[in-house]
Chains A and B, each alone.
Chain A
Amino acid sequence: MTDQRANDSGTSRRDFLTATVTLAGGMALASVARPARATPDTMQAAIREVVGEAAIRKGKVKIDVPPLVENGNTVPITISVDSPMTAADHVKSIHLFNEKNPQPNVIGVHLGPRAGKAQFSTRIKLAAAQTIIAVAQLSDGSFWSDDADVIVTIAACVEDLQ
């Protein structure tokens, strides 16, 4: 009887230790795997990947986003480009980048003269108050951009799971 009880308690101690080690291992893994935030440098690199060596001029593009958002998990955003959208002169693509999310890319859209209007809306996640940049490529090969500052009070990516 006494032996049996000792055995039981031994088993549970082993279980407890195994669980502790697993948990600690998991936490260590999480802290190692937790990504570095995108920095203005990584954002610039992501922009260069799309644009190449071409010059980016400011203008034509307009980002419409609330300057102060409460919830970074869904930030409504509209991007429009001033373009006649004809076969000769239209917007080919619009890319959106951010500074401080874990990844610098947000969305890239491809359109053409059939769109009639170079504008789209979506909802994005923002991990912190930061600057976002939209870059549009026109059919003549030129690139135009706009940036916007957004202040986020509740950041995306850090919420607790239910």
Chain B
Amino acid sequence: MTARALINVPPKARRGEIVEIKTLIAHPMETGYRVGLGGELIPRDIITTFTCTYNGEEIFRADFARAIAANPFLSFFTTATATGTIAFQWSGDNGFSATEQAPITVE
């Protein structure tokens, strides 16, 4: 399953600068509490974990519960330490998995 994800990482940063990272991924985040047209419960389908790594080292991880809005948005911070890659990984119910990455140049 592929999901559309939007990533915002500043392409350039000074060494030691604190940069903001924003991510948004297309996902219905079905809570499992809603009732469909036939009166049946719509089964839960959510993203459960999000991980962000910077040159392979984990810098931020989030565990989502059902109360996260559809198309989960996250913004957080990291210190720019070295030129490299910031990678993102989402995983969830029904084998959902998506990855994305962005380069960052540190001067």
Contact = CB atoms under 8 A, between A and B. Distances in A.
Interface of A: 23, 26-27, 29-30, 33-35, 73-75, 98, 101-103, 105-112, 114-117, 119-126, 157, 159, 161
Prevailing SS type, chain B contact patch: strand
B101 to A, nearest CB: 17
28 contacts: A23-B39, A26-B39, A30-B39, A30-B40, A35-B33, A73-B70, A74-B70, A102-B33, A102-B66, A105-B65, A105-B67, A107-B62, A107-B65, A109-B60, A109-B76, A110-B61, A115-B59, A115-B77, A116-B79, A120-B60, A121-B73, A122-B69, A123-B69, A123-B72, A123-B73, A124-B67, A125-B66, A157-B33
B40 A120 contact: no
Prevailing SS type, chain A contact patch: mixed
Contacts of B38: 23, 26
Interface of B: 18, 31, 33-41, 54, 57, 59-70, 72-79, 81
Nearest to A112: B59
A72 to B, nearest CB: 9
A115 B62 contact: no
B61 to A, nearest CB: 4
Nearest to A122: B74
A31 B32 CA distance: 14
B60 A124 contact: no
Contacts of A159: 34
B76 to A, nearest CB: 4
A53 to B, nearest CB: 22
A115 B76 contact: yes
Contacts of B54: 114
A120 B76 contact: yes
